[in-house]
Structure 1
Amino acid sequence: MKEIEELEDLAERVYHRMIDTPAKDWGMNIESWDWVPGVGVISILAYGQLTGNAEAIDYVNQWAVRNKHLSEQVKVINSMAPYAIFPELYRISGERWYLETAIQIGDWMLKDAPRTREGAYEHTVTEDAEFSEQVWADTLFMAVLFLARLARLTGDSKYAKEAEFQLLVHLRLLQDPHTDVLFHGWNCADRHHMSSARWARANAWVMLASPWIAEEIGSLTPVAEEIVDRYRQLAEGLRDFQGENGLWGTVMDQPEFYTETSASAGIAAGWIAGMRMGWLDDTYKEAVDRTLNGVMERIDPDGTVQGVSGGTPVMPSIAAYQKIPCYPTLYGQGLTLILLSLAHAEMRGPCDKYSTNVS
């Protein structure tokens, strides 16, 4: 029980560090509408559901009420992340605005969101920057997760089929056949992986998003066996790059690069989600425990998660990733919170499959 109590205490501190300290800086500003606060509220919702913390779920609802007016300002793939909480908020509150807005955004993603020539979502961002014909691993967590949750909420297979397609095409374009891990991005026009960085956090987004997406859409459309096979190959490839301290370098095949906390937490959380889905076997438990111990050592007494790299586009060279500074961020807090919450749920007892739904 001491281990469960320790996880509960750490998770609560990480959560309160996200919501109790007003911040105007980019990394910890939860009162905005973009991928950073989006990952924050997705993780807080998962924390509330996995640990039974009703206060956290209520916080997410109140956050949406405060910030929903901001959702009207921009419509790009990277700002889809906050919408991933809308399906559950509709189930809880019955407020039709959540449902109607989610459908409107889902239809925009089906019909109007920019795509590459392969049909993958082009990674558009709120910043004044264009990444024409670029596919990034981040997109699966930032946008496709929402689409999958909308599919489950509405029972409409058109959203599920699109989510399944996006998952498959991203894996096909980004997976390295030599190591089985993922490159950060792919340029569809020039047909290459740009800097060819095996960036750890890119792998974390996909490792965690894939079983979550599949869980949401599985009752509406078949999930291709190729997806499961590629996911298992990815999981095994990641195990090969795990350091002795349980963590991964920010570029995982560069042993001299600094180890990065958010990627490590996301990868281990993805392993747990994969085991709960039945995609991975129990041999990953030891590797998860090593990561959990390594991540816990990086949590300050006030709940701040240290060792988190800043926002990272596809960099022009592998060396450039090592120059990204580390500072506290909502996504670093969030991925750590998800890992702690999933580990807590596993200690309470096994589950047939992963689900964030309480309804």
Structure 2
Amino acid sequence: MKGINELKELAERVYHRMIDKTVNDWGMNMESWDWVPGVGVISILAYGRLVGNQEAIEYLQQWTERNKHLSEQGNVINSMAPYAIFPELYRLSGDRWYLDAATKIGDWMLKEAPRTREGAFEHTVTENVNFSEQVWADTLFMAVLFLARLAKLTGESKYAKEAEFQLLIHLRLLQDPQTGVLFHGWNCEEGNHMSSARWTRANAWVILASPWIAEEISSLTPVAEEIVDRYRQLASGLRHYQREDGMWSTVMDQPGFYAETSGSAGIAAGWLAGIRMGWLDSSYKEAVNQTLQGVIERIEPDGTVQGVSGGTPVMPNILAYEEIPCYPTLYGQGLTLILLSLAHKINLSEGK
């Protein structure tokens, strides 16, 4: 187990790998407005808060100033992610622009965002492709987390109630009752889980987003006990599929598939978030430690996180997930950064 100072130093290297180079490639480009840099800025905010790095918070203010004009390209669910930092930036700066922009987007989500027949947000993306009537696990992290944070900032229960509903309907539609883990997506029109892939990163988005969302909205609306029960079933199911090296295969019930770093880091981070929320007991700390060691082995000296699968829509079949190439990405850096930051904050040596 790494010491607290070692974890902090590792987190700083991962963070600087995200911000020190301006690159044009899709996976590591911070200077755009979509889910990839969105996960990047969400993770940098978590890092700044948990480790106490004021420089990281200042970076987010500068990043927003440089890139806010890009938000005008059009609203889709998958590009809501960058807005999740706006509530905190408004609290810190008092700049009314952050509040007005966030409220405008929150109202779009409530009134105009496309929905499936069950009322779940349809997973719309910036790319020229349509996923009609599809629900993806990614949406909870990419869009609903923002809505929950907006609810807490404004005290408006309408945002909190929508966030709670979206969390519950996503869990109901995506959770496998046999194993407790989640399928990648749900097709409302066809009434099936498409390829029925138990994709690791999909599970990571949800195991991490769920307690974060609940924490933001709990003072404004009751969080259904069903959400907590389903979260615990998910957490337990994930432990069942954890490999001996602490990681998960990119499709977790396919042990011959490659180990995937971003999903593994996100799952362990989600367990830690669940422990902090009081939803999970400390018995998960040992499993987190296993993952932490596996993830750290995939961090290069310059902070680059390796073993991260590229952007992955719901694939046509299970084998297609194994064909997704691995390369460094902001979301791989980000989920690793969140894990390192939470591990730094929480004493993993207690309560084993």
Displacement of 1:347: 2.9
In structure 1, the partner of 2:200 is 200
* Residue equivalent to 1:353: none
What corresponds to 1:125 in structure 2? 125
Q: How does 1:38-77 map to 2 (within 5 A)?
A: 38-77=38-77
Identity of aligned residues (%): 80
Alignment of 1:45-194 (within 5 A): 45-194=45-194
Q: What amino acid is aligned across from residue 304 of structure 1 in structure 2?
A: T
Deviating runs (4+, > 2 A) in structure 1? 347-350
Mapped partners of 1:31, 1:9: distance in 2 = 25
Partner of 1:283: 283
Asked whether the 8 Å contact 2:203–2:263 carries over to 1, the reply is yes
Partner of 1:355: none
Equivalent AA in structure 1 for residue 289 of structure 2: D
Superposed CA RMSD: 1.2
> For residues 12-51 of structure 1, what are the alpha-carbon distances to aligned partners after superposition, in whole Å with 9 as ceiling and x for unaligned?
0000000001110000000000000000000001000000
* SS of alignment partner, residue 268 of structure 2: helix
Paired residue type of 1:34: D
C-alpha deviation, 1:5, in angstroms = 1.2
In 2, Cα distance between equivalents of 1:16 and 1:51: 14
Deviation, structure 1 residue 74 = 1.6
Between the aligned partners of 1:96 and 1:22, the Cα distance in structure 2 is 29
8 Å Cα contact 2:285-2:348 kept in structure 1: no
What secondary structure sits across from 2:186 in the alignment? strand
Give the letter for the 2:166 counterpart.
Q
Matched letter for residue 302 of structure 2: D
Q: Name the amino acid aligned to 1:144.
A: V
Secondary structure in structure 2 of the residue aligned to 1:135: strand
Q: C-alpha distance in 2, partners of 1:203/1:177?
A: 14
Letter matched to residue 194 of structure 1: M
Do 2:11 and 2:340's aligned partners in 1 also have CA atoms closer than 8 Å?
yes
Tell me, what secondary structure is at the counterpart of 2:3? helix
> Which string of whole-angstrom CA distances, capped at 9 and with x for unpartnered residues, describes residues 74-122 of structure 1?
2000000000000000000111010001000000000000000000000
| Residue equivalent to 2:32 | 32
* Structure-2 separation of matches of 1:5 and 1:101: 38
Q: 1:293-343: CA deviations, max 9, x gaps?
A: 000000000000000000000000000000000000000000000000000
Bigger mean CA offset, 340-349 vs 244-253: 340-349
Quick one: distance in 2 between partners of 1:29 and 1:151? 29
Give SS of 2:283's match.
Answer: helix
The alignment partner of 2:233 has SS state of helix
